[in-house]
Amino acid sequence: MPKPVTLDDTIGLVNTELDAHMLGISMIEEVLKESGFKTVVAEKTVCAAMNNPQDYNNSNLITKWIVENNISILGFSYRLDPYDGVEIFQKLMYQLKDKKLFEKHGGCVKSVYFAGLPAACEEIKKAYGNSIGVFYGDETPAESLKILGIDSSLAPQSIISVHDYDKQLEQFGKSIIKKGDYIGVKPVDKSKCPKFGTKEDKLVTRINYNYKNKLTPVIRAHAGPYLSDRKEAVKQFINWSNTLAQTGLLDVLSIGTSQLSQSMFGEDWKGLPNGGGVPVNSIKDYMSIWEASRPMLVRTYAGTKNIKELAKIYEKTINIAWHALSLWWFSQIDGRGQNSVLENLEEHFETIKYIASIGKPLEPNVPHHFAFRGSDDISYVVSSVLSANVAKSLGINYFILQTMLNDPKYTWGINDIAKTRASLELVKKLEDNSFRVYLQTRTGLNYLSHDLEKAKQQLASVTALMDDIEPTKIYSPEIIHVVSYSEGSHLADPDVINESIKITIHAINSYRDMKSKGNTFSYESEIEQRKEYLVKSAKHILSTIKDYVKNPYSPLGLYKIFKAGFLPAPQLRFCREEFPHAVEWKTKIRNGCVDIYSSDNSKLSVNDRMRYLKEVCKQLN
């Protein structure tokens, strides 16, 4: 067994540059810090070295990081391909031994831990036995501390406690899966929807058809096999698309393209790592996918460069159901693109103008990216409203407000509802005859367990939560992004995707039936109190932005908003020197909510926060 962690230890946390999944590292760092332990998260250069730890220069860089920080507990995370993760970890372990970094060889490292997909964790356990602690990704804060040999009583109860609403949803989810009735869910014939399955088919038409015929929400799901052979991967995905189309449960197929598809479409990829996802690299590939996916709507990721041109290709080839742009993100600040933040904003604005000109919906894929980097709940709402204002100002008619629930995964359900209601209230104030808002909900990226039975129960539970966001509106949410229950374990194939859809449809119908009979989990007073706090605080911040940032709904305006610190990102991994006011905030998860705290560990008021930011704006101007 790894040696227990003590307060004298320094815990180093690192992943590879290829792996953009930072949620697990961010969360364990927060829990450890709040429990009184010292942590060091590796900087960009060290993460890049972890891609190939046996390289001479990389090995020296990793050694220097460990020695200079006196790291005694090393945690390594890799949540992409499990076999790649095991291989990189084994190379890292060899270098630790070769450089005599282990305590038994005179070094400082006394224990090593691995976090990854279940298959990788199982391989690590086979190779190293109990000498390496493993994290599958679904551990609670208390369970994470136990793996590290830390008494959970060291952690504040406000971090490890669970709300009664979540406990009740958990029991609901368990009952849905235990009964197994969801297996009998059948596809609904929607062939009479206008232009169904043709190049003229549209998301809004589908939504309106659902309204008219009292059908469940439009169902979207993400799919993307990962194979080392590019041609075989695309071929397999085309087969998957055809299978999903024939089953008839899925309305919108989201192509999970590779990072290279987004950053280097149509270019030579020879010798470059794929990093997971479907390696689509030609117009022909997209056209073949569209043909195989009839009659589903299809969508995919935006590009990270030449964004407008790629959006046009999506229109031409797959009649993309809607475009999703992330404004600040998928650029240099998250390592996903080569654009600077300002360049990214400029490209996105031009792309949004194009999207508006053809009448397609827009989904700003924004709020959860701030949450991924440790932002607070108020900023989650503010970023939604900023994005909506940008969309409307550039002529977008149909706006998809996405809310990623369980983000971070220790968020209480009542706070998820409050955040979404606050965002909806403020964004829907912008609605008029030419601007319509649609709600899209989804399970959190890092929420579902590697235990497949538990994950199915979680999926059913979160679906019920979605229905409590606007409980009096039978057509809300309009779109559900169904995250496959295998997400915490392995990539979903068509069978898993279809089963996940069945669970979702059955869960929402069963929950609505249960509530119609008077059986509700009502915590309205708590939800409304938090929602009102978020709305009032967001309004204050938006008002300050309007007064202190010139032309806020322009590329330069959004850049200045981020640079001034209106949208905190304390766990930002890259470009920290460029955005010191964005990273200087201190956020904490307390009682299922994420808020900003001052240096004395008291919750920072919005008034004090704005007072400080007004001075920052004066200096920047």
d(CA 539, CA 545): 10
The pLDDT of 107-119, averaged and rounded, is 92
Q: Determine what percent of the chain falls in helix, strand and coil, rounding each to the nearest 5.
A: 50, 15, 40
Burial of 519 (0-12, 13-18, 19+ CB in 10 A): exposed
Q: Looking at residue 497, what is its pLDDT?
A: 98
Neighbours of 130 (CB within 10 A): 9
pLDDT digits (tens, 9 = 90+) for 171-191: 999 999 999 999 999 999 999
Overall residue count recorded for the chain in this entry: 621
362-364 and 323-325: which strand pairing? parallel
Instruction: Give the single-character DSSP code of 194.
Output: T
The pLDDT of 594-616, averaged and rounded, is 94
Tokens (6 digits) for 598: 């001052």
Q: Band of the pLDDT at 598, cuts 50, 70, 90? A: very high
Report CA torsion sign: 604, 606, 608, 613: positive
Rg of the chain over Cα atoms, rounded to whole angstroms, equals 24
Residue 506 has pLDDT above 90, yes or no: yes
Is residue 298 within 8 A of residue 257, CB to CB? The reply is no
Distances (CA, A) of 42 to 16, 62, 116, 571: 10, 9, 17, 11
CA 38, chain centre distance (Å): 27
Residue 23 has pLDDT above 70, yes or no: no
Q: Looking at residue 525, what is its pLDDT?
A: 95
pLDDT digits (tens, 9 = 90+) for 456-480: 999 999 999 999 999 989 889 999 9
Q: Looking at residue 44, what is its pLDDT?
A: 86
Residue 158 has pLDDT above 90, yes or no: no
pLDDT digits (tens, 9 = 90+) for 32-86: 988 899 999 999 899 999 999 999 999 999 999 999 999 999 999 998 778 889 9
Of the candidates 299, 355, 374, the one whose C-alpha atom is nearest the C-alpha of residue 576 is 374
Cis omega before residue 156 (within 30°)?
A: no
d(CA 479, CA 208): 12
Q: Report the run of H or E that residue 381 belongs to, with start and end.
A: helix 377-393
Of the candidates 271, 288, 269, 287, the one whose C-alpha atom is nearest the C-alpha of residue 279 is 269
Q: Band of the pLDDT at 427, cuts 50, 70, 90? A: very high
d(CA 88, CA 124): 11
Amino acid, res. 428: K
Q: Looking at residue 22, what is its pLDDT?
A: 61
The pLDDT of 15-26, averaged and rounded, is 70
Q: Domain ranges in the chain? A: 10-160
Q: Band of the pLDDT at 521, cuts 50, 70, 90? A: confident
Instruction: Give the single-character DSSP code of 390.
Output: H
Q: Looking at residue 620, what is its pLDDT?
A: 87
The pLDDT of 520-545, averaged and rounded, is 95
Largest CA distance in the chain: 73
**In the chain, pLDDT over 90 holds for what percent of residues?**
79
Residues 6+ apart with CB under 8 A from 8: 72
pLDDT digits (tens, 9 = 90+) for 555-569: 999 999 999 999 999
Is residue 197 within 8 A of residue 295, CB to CB? The reply is yes
Residues 6+ apart with CB under 8 A from 48: 16, 17, 58
Of the candidates 333, 426, 435, 422, the one whose C-alpha atom is nearest the C-alpha of residue 391 is 435
The pLDDT of 392-419, averaged and rounded, is 96
What pTM did the predictor assign? 0.88
Q: Looking at residue 155, what is its pLDDT?
A: 81
**In the chain, pLDDT over 70 holds for what percent of residues?**
99
Question: In the predicted model, what is the mean pLDDT of the chain?
Answer: 93
pLDDT digits (tens, 9 = 90+) for 319-354: 999 999 999 999 999 988 999 999 999 999 999 999
The pLDDT of 584-611, averaged and rounded, is 94
Q: What is the dihedral of CA 88, 91, 97, 99, to 10 degrees?
A: -100
Q: Band of the pLDDT at 18, cuts 50, 70, 90? A: low
The pLDDT of 203-221, averaged and rounded, is 96
Name the CATH superfamily housing domain 10-160.
Answer: Response regulator (3.40.50.2300)
Q: Give me the residues paired with residue 404 across strands.
A: 442
Q: Looking at residue 445, what is its pLDDT?
A: 82
Residue 20 has pLDDT above 60, yes or no: no
Residue 488 has pLDDT above 90, yes or no: no
d(CA 302, CA 308): 9
Q: Looking at residue 19, what is its pLDDT?
A: 60
The pLDDT of 418-447, averaged and rounded, is 96
Give the three-state DSSP class for 309: helix
